A and B are shown apart, each in its own frame.
Chain A
Amino acid sequence: MSAPTFPGPSSSSPDGGLRAGEVDAVAASRGLAPADLEVRLRADASSRRAVLTLFAVAIAWLLIGSIFGEIASFKLHWPDLLVRQGWLTFGRVRTAHLHAVNYGWATAALIGTSLWLMPRLVHTELKGVFMAIVGASLFTLGIAIGIIAVLAGYSDGMEWLEAPRYAAGPFLVLGGGLIGLSLFRTVAARTNDHLYVSVWYILGAFIWFPMLYIVGKWPTYNGVESAAANWFFAHNVLGFWLTAMSVGAAYYFIPKVLGRPVYSYQLSVVGFWSLAMFYSLNGMHHLVGGPMPEWMITTSIVASVFMFIPVIATGINLHMTVVGRFGALRYSPTLRFIVIGALCYTAVSLQGSFTALREVNRVTHFTHWTVAHSHVGGYGFVSFIAFGAIYYIVPRLVGHEWPSASLIRWHFNLVLGGIAIYVLALTWAGVAQGLALLDPQLPFQVSVQRTIAGLYGRSLGGLIMTLGHFVFAYHFWIMVRMPQLSRRNRPPFHDAQPILYTAEAEAARVGERVPSPGAAPVPAMRRADATDASSAQQPLQTPLEGGAT
């Protein structure tokens, strides 16, 4: 593979933004009213500092979390590795990994994405920028305190909720609250008259997370009540925090990059409310067969099966928006990451419903299958969406293109290959383990020995992913800190020639009349950004457009 190259003369101004007088020209070249472009420029300028800060923090956590994850993974097949220090024992580094990647990387990356999306979606500037930056700092501090506490042996003991209630909690609550407030104020100041799907999900996430955190951290549970609260939180933090923001982002970027509206507005409404209703009742499927009142577990199993409704609604909506335009994946790294993320969302959700069934669960429960499953969700889905979003957003904030197409290609291939090896190896290990555990004739050690090969495979997959993360972090670093290297004035994959929106094909697809030139053929509510739908019809050669489209 060739070394990164940095070709092309620069046509952007030294500070990376558009020069005075350029707005009109750029807007005209893309069939936009100058006022509409202004709205977007102001939105991006307002969120710039907060979003870049959060992305930098997120990527730092990604590297830290990857290293912890690798140490934990090695320990499962090399159990005498690094045993002499308490803080490096498996139970602590594994938990540090979970917190660093979920609350550090994914959360920070998706909050950053949300802070960028919201002003664009409601046509205003981000309100309370200072508040958001202080909030992000406090939140990051809370995560760091939680991880250090866990490593030092101070854990609250419940999975996903280990960070100490009184040491890390106040920072998380205050930090998250300030960010939420900034977003709510932004929505309140909106200047458009519809709310695009993504806004529902982001609003929802910031309402749901505090509720979940309070329930999860409530200090008075006894015995199995704490198990109920534990898994209520731990399952829903995926569905209502990470999934909500990720689906919101997917709903924005897929139509946006392709320049075509979301397939169906009705399906997006169904998807949103049915996700809220059914996902929220899923948590007890982590306790199938456990010492809980039977009706609770049954409720969760039934709700898990009903998850087919939101998943299929959202799946159809996102996938049908892409259908016929898969060629554009070659052109847009954002689209490539986000379409794979959306496919993983469908896959992991169907797998989850299936796993909740008693007959499947009796094999897979308590095995590495669950760990593989959670990585399809947390990585294949959430992290891929976050990668895609970062590739789209950062050029618009720093005003120049990603320096290297080959670094993007390396990142994509490494993380995709890595997660595929990871999931296949660990799923296989989990099934082998589960079948061995179900056979009382086999001694327990068989269930251990049958997983070892798969665990080596997982370590290998994880190493490849980690390598990809370092490539990504390096690319982000030179993108932001060394603008002199980013002298392209075209997106990295511009030569791949996108297959994008054509009015005739669009009309054929949705059964609508061919729109008259310049007029929007679809209602605003189906478009990712009411002023944006037509933007991708034009070749995107302005420095503003960035790497994705």
Chain B
Amino acid sequence: MSAEKNGGQRADFMARSGLVALGAFAVMASAIIILVVIPKTMLSEVRASPELPPYTEVQLRGRGTYIANGCIYCHSQQVRDPAFTTDVDRGWGSRATVPEDYVHDRPHLLGTMRTGPDLINVGQRLPSIDWHLIHLYDPRSLNSWSTMPAFPYMFEERRPEDVTTEDRVVRIPGPRAPKGVVIIAKAEAIALSEYLISLKRQYPVSDSVESSRHLSLNVGGGHD
């Protein structure tokens, strides 16, 4: 847009509301094409690895619980390039995650905070559903330093005589265990735990997939 470039000298251009509006629209439209439309076209060719099954129904419900309670505001789900960060050294994954790892995710839950640890491979590190249920009920019964919220509303407290064989009993260890009541996990706690233990992105990715992050137009990233 030559008129835009010359805006400094062309006061008349900036005095015409229609042209200013049109220019504003055009600039934003081109940004949308560059950062949303082109990537969407390129990424639509990405396919999941055969080793990454779609989420089951329970896992999807658990994912819904993850979203509803805002887990994303403290937990990321991405391992960054080992050349750039220490995510891999920290044991959060064996490789950087790639777009293929997220094909089943709608919407993405990449996250922008690590007030808590990264979770994209939490199912590998902590595969026990019982651990997750205890941890959701009272994180500080397992890690005294933890600042994670407790989620007692995903559990029921019941008198021991009211517990049936179908109930998922959660045994809280240590001095923080509630006295005189039995803790029963509600369906949402179980689904959330099922979702968490399903989070694994450790299968090897081929070079071609690894390089999909560098799809054409590779103009930078000094480390690669």
Interface size class of A (residues with CB under 8 A): 35 or more
* B36:A229 contact, CB within 8 angstroms: yes
* B70:A224 contact, CB within 8 angstroms: no
* B114:A437 contact, CB within 8 angstroms: yes
* A525:B72 contact, CB within 8 angstroms: no
Q: Does B203 contact A (CB under 8 A)?
A: no
Q: Does A487 contact B (CB under 8 A)?
A: no
* Contact partner, A299, options B17, B35, B117, B223, Cβ 8 Å: B35
Q: Which residue of B lies closest to A289 (CB)?
A: B80
Contacts of B16 in A (CB 8 A): 195
Residues 36-89 (chain B) with a chain A CB within 8 angstroms: 36, 39-40, 42-44, 46, 67-74, 76, 78, 80-81, 84-86, 89
* B35:A294 contact, CB within 8 angstroms: no
If A84-B152, A292-B99, A299-B34 touch, whether A195 touches B70 (CB-CB below 8 Å) is: no
For the residues of B in contact with A, the DSSP-based class is: loop
If A232-B32, A290-B80, A299-B35 touch, whether A91 touches B101 (CB-CB below 8 Å) is: no
Contacts of A90 in B (CB 8 A): 70, 73-74, 149
Contacts of A83 in B (CB 8 A): 149-153
Q: Of B127-135, B164-172, B212-220, which stretch is located at the interface?
A: B212-220
Q: Of A9-17, A155-163, A506-514, which stretch is located at the interface?
A: A155-163
Contacts of B106 in A (CB 8 A): 221-223, 226
Q: Of A22-30, A41-49, A100-108, A280-288, which stretch is located at the interface?
A: A280-288
Residues 299-329 (chain A) with a chain B CB within 8 angstroms: 299-302
Q: Does A428 contact B (CB under 8 A)?
A: no
If A194-B15, A293-B214 touch, whether A280 touches B43 (CB-CB below 8 Å) is: no
* B215:A293 contact, CB within 8 angstroms: yes
Question: In the complex, what's the smallest C-beta–C-beta distance from B143 to chain A, in angstroms?
Answer: 7
Q: Does A208 contact B (CB under 8 A)?
A: yes
CA distance A437 to B104 in the complex (A): 29
Q: Of A74-82, A346-354, A394-402, A529-537, which stretch is located at the interface?
A: A74-82
Q: Which residue of B lies closest to A199 (CB)?
A: B17
Q: Does B148 contact A (CB under 8 A)?
A: yes
* B139:A79 contact, CB within 8 angstroms: yes
Q: Which residues of B contact A (CB under 8 A)?
A: 4, 7-8, 11, 14-17, 20-21, 23-25, 27-32, 34-36, 39-40, 42-44, 46, 67-74, 76, 78, 80-81, 84-86, 89-90, 96-99, 101-115, 117, 139-140, 143, 145-154, 212-224
Beyond the given A83-B153, A273-B27, A366-B114, please list 6 additional residue pairs across the A-B interface where CB-CB is below 8 A: A203-B24, A211-B28, A224-B99, A232-B31, A281-B34, A290-B80
